[in-house]
Chains A and B, each alone.
Chain A
Amino acid sequence: MNAINRNEQRALARAVLEIDVNNHPGVMSHVIGLFSRRTYNVEGILCLPVGDGSCSRIWLLVNEDARLPQMMKQAEKLEDVIAVRRHHADHAVFSELEDFFRP
C-alpha cells in the first residue's frame, strides 16, 4: 500500500473509538488484531486502567472507512470487550495530547 503523506492523512475523516475492556495481558492484541488483519491502520492508541484496575479503557483514533461499523461489531464480539462507543474525531482525548507529539 502506498504511504500517504501527512497532509493527506489529515484530510481523511477520522473517528475515535472508546472501548471498555477487561484488564489483562492479551486484550490489546485481541482488539488491535481485528484491525491489522484487515490492513486497517490504527492512527492512535491510548489505554489506561479504570477505577480499581479490573477494567481498562482503550481509545483508538482510526480513519473513517466503510468497514468501521463491521469493525465495531467484531470488537463487540470479543469476550473481553465490555462496550464500544464511537465519537467524532474532534474528541478531546487525542487533541489534548498533541503537545506530546510535536516533531
Chain B
Amino acid sequence: MTETLTGAQIAIRLLERQGVRTVAGIPGGAILPIYDALGQSTVIHHVLARHEQGAGFMAQGMARATGQPAVCMASSGPGATNLLTAIADAKLDSIPLVAITGQVPRAMIGTDAFQEVDTYGLSIPITKHNFLVNSAEELLEVIPRAFEIAASGRPGPVLVDIPKDVQMQAMEITDWPAPGTRQMPPPADALAISEAAGMINAAKRPILYLGGGVVHSGAASVAVDLANKANLPTVMTLMALGAMPVDHPLSLGMLGMHGARCTNLALDECDLLIAVGARFDDRATGKVAAFCAQAKIIHIDIDAAELDKIKNAHVGIAADVQEALERLLPLVSENARKIWVDRTDALKRDFPQHMPDLDQPLSHFGLIRSVAACLDDEAIIATDVGQHQMWVAQGYPLRRPRQWLTSGGLGTMGFGVPAAIGAALAEPLRTVVCFTGDGSILMNIQELVTAAEENVNVKIVLMDNASLGLVHQQQTLFYGERLFASQFKASPDFIKVAQGFGIAAVDLDTAANPCAALMEAIARPGPCLIHASIDVQQKVYPMVPPGAANRDMIGA
C-alpha cells in the first residue's frame, strides 16, 4: 500500500516498528511536527518530562533496566543542550539510547535562528554516532540505523537531529525498512581463547574482574559458571554489581576506590587477572602501575580500543563477552584451588567491609539494609551520585544483573530520580527504589511531578546530611578540613516539597517506629519520598586517596 506521509509521521512509524512503546521528552517549536504525529500514535506512550535532562535519564532508566535502546526527544536549542548531560552519561556507561532532536528548518541553519544551536557538532564527542537528517527519505535509513548502532557492539547513545522542514516534507512510501537490531561482532579468536584457558588452568592465584560489559552482553550467568568451575574469586566494578550475587562464596564484591580492603588486597596478590567487559577505569584501578602488579592479564572486551588502553594484556580478545566466555568455559578445567580460595576467604574474614550500626535504621548502612529487608531481588535499585551511592554499592545485597542502575562513568548528580522513573515505566511490575542525597535530588527535583503524573512505583530514599557529602569528605580528609561550599546553609522542607509535587512523603526522623514507617511506605503502591537525616561526619570508607595505589586505603 502506498501512503503519503510527512517526515514526522515516518519518524514515528519507524519508532513504532522498532517496538518502542514509551518515549520521554519535551516538545518545542522545532519538534512540533513530530509531536503532532506522536500524538496520533496509538501504541507509543509519551512521558512528559519537566526538563530535557530528566527525559534523557528516564530513557536511560528504561534502557538500563531492559537492555533495549530507549528513546528521548527534545526540541532545538536549549532543549537539545539540556539533553547533552544525559547523553554524555549514556556514552560513558555504554547505554543504548536514541535521542531525537528537532532542528530549525534547513534554510535557517547557520543563521543563528531562534533556538538554533549546532546540535550535531555539540553531540559529536558524547555520542557513539550522530545524524543530521537531510530529507524525509533519509529517515528510512537513519532511524533503523540509529537503533542498530545504539544496540550493536559496545552499546551507546545515538543522536538524530531532524530539521523542521524535513519533518514536514511529504513523500510517498510503499515499503518500510526492517527495524534496526543488534548485530553480533565476529566470533572470538579460537587461538586466543585456548591461550586464555591455558593461562587460567595454570594460574595459582587468578581473579575474575567483571565490568559493565558483562551486564550489557547478558553474560552474568556464564561468568558465574566460569567462576564456579575454576574457583575464581571474583571482583566487580561499580557497573557490574549484581552480575554475581554479592553473597556468592566466590564474590569479593566491588573493587577500587571504595572497595572493601579484602577486595583490593586480594587483587594485590593475584597472579592472573581475567578482565571481562571492564575498562580499567581509574576509580577501579587506583594508581595503574601498582594495580595487580604481579599479574598476567587476560582482557576480553567487545571494544578493541579498550585492549591495551590502560594496561597491556598478555592475551587480548576483542569479542562479545558472552560468546567468548561460553567458548572459554569448556576449555577451563575444574579446579578446587583450595590454597587461593582459602587465602581470599581469610582476607574476607580479616578485612571485611566495615558496616557500623546495621541495626540502627537511621544510620546510613542501617537504612540501606532496612530498605533491602523490605524487598526481594525483583526490585530495581537506582542511585544518585555521592556518598549515598557508594554506601549502597557497598551495603545493598545486589544479586541480579540489571537490578542496579547507577551513573558510573560520568557520575552525574541528578541521575537517580528520572532514571528510576524510566525503570518503573519499563518494568511496571517491579518496585523501584532510588537512593538519593539532598544534593543530588535537587538537581532534577522537578521530575517528582512526572512521577506523580505517571503514578510510577518509585520509592525515593533521601539520605539527608544537608551537605555535598563527598566534597565534604574530601575537604575534611585532603584539604585541611577547610570546608567550603559543601554545607548547605538552607535546606528545603523535603516533605513539603514532595507533597507539593503531588507525591506521598514520609519522614523517618519523626516516625515513632522508623522501620514500620519505612515498610509501609515501600509496600504502598505509587511514588513516595522517604526522608531520613544522616550524620554528615560519616565517611565513605575505606577510601583510596586520589592517585594512590589501591593497597593504600584509608579508614575502616
Contact = CB atoms under 8 A, between A and B. Distances in A.
A60 B269 CA distance: 44
A78 B125 CA distance: 11
Contact of B132 (A26, A37, A73): A26
B398 to A, nearest CB: 31
B124 A33 contact: yes
A29 B121 contact: yes
Q: How large is the interface on A (under 10, 10 to 19, 20 to 34, 35 or more residues)?
A: 10 to 19
Contacts of B309: 70, 73
B125 A33 contact: yes
Nearest to A71: B305
B124 A26 contact: yes
Contact of B149 (A37, A74, A79): A79
Contact of B304 (A25, A73, A79): A73
Contacts of A85: none
Contacts of A70: 305, 308-309
Contact of A77 (B124, B130, B305, B308): B305
Interface string B285-323: 000000000000000000111001100000000000000
B305 A79 contact: no
A69 interface: yes
A70 B124 CA distance: 18
Interface in B125-150: 125, 128-130, 132, 149
A87 interface: no
Interface string A37-77: 10000000000000000000000000000000110011011
A70 B308 CA distance: 8
Contact of B303 (A77, A79, A80): A77
Interface in A1-33: 25-26, 29-30, 33
Given A26-B120, A26-B132, A79-B149, A73 B125 contact: no
Contact of B129 (A25, A73, A76, A79): A79
Nearest to B145: A79
Contacts of A76: 304-305
Nearest to B120: A26
Contacts of B124: 26, 29-30, 33
A37 B308 CA distance: 20
A29 B304 CA distance: 22
A103 to B, nearest CB: 33
Nearest to A75: B305
Interface string B237-272: 000000000000000000000000000000000000
A33 B129 CA distance: 13
Nearest to B130: A26
A76 B154 CA distance: 14
A77 B125 CA distance: 13
B36 to A, nearest CB: 28
Question: Which residue among B125, B132, B149 has the maximum number of chain A CB atoms within 10 Å of its CB?
Answer: B125
Nearest to A36: B125
Interface string B103-130: 0000000000000000011001100111
Contacts of A37: 125
A26 B119 CA distance: 12
B221 to A, nearest CB: 28
A80 B129 CA distance: 9
B516 to A, nearest CB: 53
A73 B309 CA distance: 10
Given A26-B132, A79-B149, A74 B305 contact: yes
Given A73-B304, A78-B129, A80-B129, 18 more contacts: A25-B132, A26-B121, A26-B124, A26-B132, A29-B121, A30-B124, A33-B124, A33-B125, A37-B125, A69-B308, A70-B305, A70-B308, A70-B309, A73-B305, A76-B305, A77-B304, A77-B305, A79-B128
20 contacts: A25-B132, A26-B120, A26-B124, A26-B130, A26-B132, A29-B121, A29-B124, A30-B124, A33-B125, A37-B125, A70-B305, A70-B308, A73-B304, A73-B305, A73-B309, A76-B304, A76-B305, A79-B128, A79-B129, A79-B149
Which 4 pairs show the lowest CB-CB distances between chains A and B? A73-B305, A79-B129, A33-B124, A74-B305
